[in-house]
């Protein structure tokens, strides 16, 4: 059985990797130099759209297109 410090280290690594990946999305969206409050506002507003709604699907399509560039 692994000790608590090894588990905590793994948790920190997973957390760091997730943050790096999310930061990459910000860069990919062209928002690397945008105001942090603006980015957070966009994310909060986006979280209001539920899967299956037309606006959600429009945003998914837009994101998939950007991933392909």
Euclidean distance between the first and final Cα of the chain, in Å? 45
Torsion of CA 24, 22, 57, 36, to 10 degrees: -90
- pLDDT > 70? residue 12: yes
- pLDDT > 90? residue 41: yes
- pLDDT > 80? residue 21: yes
Extents of the domains making up the chain: 1-32, 35-69
Contact call for residues 31 and 46 (beta carbons, < 8 A): no
Binning pLDDT at 50, 70 and 90, where does residue 37 land?
Answer: very high
What pLDDT shows up at residue 52?
95
Confirm whether pTM is higher than 0.85.
Answer: no
Binning pLDDT at 50, 70 and 90, where does residue 1 land?
Answer: low
Look up residue 69 and give its two tokens.
């560039």
């Amino acid at each position: 059985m692994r000790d608590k410090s090894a588990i905590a280290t793994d948790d920190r690594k997973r957390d760091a990797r997730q943050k790096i990946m999310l930061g990459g999305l910000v860069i990919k969206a062209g928002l690397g130099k945008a105001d942090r409050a603006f980015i957070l506002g966009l994310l909060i507003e986006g979280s209001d759209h539920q899967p299956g709604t037309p606006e959600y699907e429009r945003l998914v399509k837009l994101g998939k297109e950007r991933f392909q560039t």
